[in-house]
Structure 1
Amino acid sequence: MQKQVAGTIIYNDQQGTHFLVGQSDSKYYFYRLPVQAGNSPLASVLWALRHTIGIDVDQLRLYDSIMAKLDNEKVAVFVFDHLALDEQTRVKFEQQGLRFVLASELHELFMSVSVSETTPFTNLSK
Structure 2
Amino acid sequence: MKKQVAGTIIKNDSRGTSFLVSRDQRGGYYFYHLAVRENQSPLASVLWELRHNVGIDVDQLRLYDSIIAEISGEKVAVFVFDHLAIDERVEQLFEKRGLAFVPASQLHHLFESVNVGQTSPMEDFSK
The TM-score with structure 2 as length reference comes to 0.90
Partner residue in 2 for 1:19: 19
Say what the alpha-carbon RMSD is for the aligned residues: 1.1
Percent of pairs identical after alignment?
65
Secondary structure of 1:18's aligned partner: strand
Length, aligned pairs only: 118
Structure 1 Cα separation of the partners of residues 118 and 65 of structure 2: 15
Q: Deviations over 1:25-82 (max 9, x none)?
A: 2100000000001000000000000000000000000000000001111000000003
- C-alpha displacement of 1:83: 3.2
Q: Deviations over 1:7-41 (max 9, x none)?
A: 00000011100000001121000000000010000
Q: Which runs of 5+ in 1 are unaligned?
A: 119-126
Q: Deviations over 1:78-115 (max 9, x none)?
A: 00003311111111000000000000000000000012
Secondary structure of 1:84's aligned partner: coil
| Counterpart residue identity of residue 56, structure 1 | D
**Which of structure 1's runs of 4+ aligned residues deviate more than 6 A?**
none
Structure 2 Cα separation of the partners of residues 65 and 54 of structure 1: 22
**2:61 counterpart of 1:30:** no
